[in-house]
Amino acid sequence: MPFHLSKSNLESKPKVSNHNNAGKLKNENATLYLIVYKDIIKSIFKGVKVIEYRECTDYWKKRLVDKPYTRLRITNGYGNDTRPYVLMKYQGYDIVDRNGTPHYAIPINRELWLEQRTTIGGKITKC
């Protein structure tokens, strides 16, 4: 995308991005972030849901395939750092068929958990 001149651009320095590193993860603790609804996070905390699915689309392919994540953070909703979440070791994914559509199946079983916050603004607990 070409840089264009405007009053705001003249007042501040343009942001420069290195396209050679686009999409590459920069550290050994690279984290994959997944956002889920409240009912989903509750079933994860109860241990009922042990696999998180994402449909095999270009969007998820860009974020999952050939990415060396070491951690996975599943958060209930967007917002600040007070939201309920679970942080765990990332073990990769399988591709499975769900109702005739391929999905990435990401294991989220409790043995992988590192820490959690079960309520908004609640205490962070190591697992």
pLDDT digits (tens, 9 = 90+) for 29-70: 799 999 999 999 999 999 999 999 999 999 999 999 999 999
- Measured torsion, CA atoms of residues 68, 27, 22, 114, in degrees rounded to the nearest 10: 60
Spatial neighbors of 105 by CB under 8 A, at least 6 apart, are 51, 52, 53, 93, 94, 95, 96
- Neighbouring CB atoms inside 10 A of 81's CB total 9
Distance, CA of 27 to CA of 109 (rounded, Å): 24
What are the tens digits of pLDDT across the range 63-116?
A: 999 999 999 999 998 877 789 999 999 999 999 999 999 999 999 999 999 999
Strand 71-76, strand 31-36: pairing = parallel
Length of the chain: 127
Exposure on the CB side of residue 97, measured as CA atoms within 13 A:
2
Distance, CA of 110 to CA of 118 (rounded, Å): 14
> What is the reported pTM?
0.76
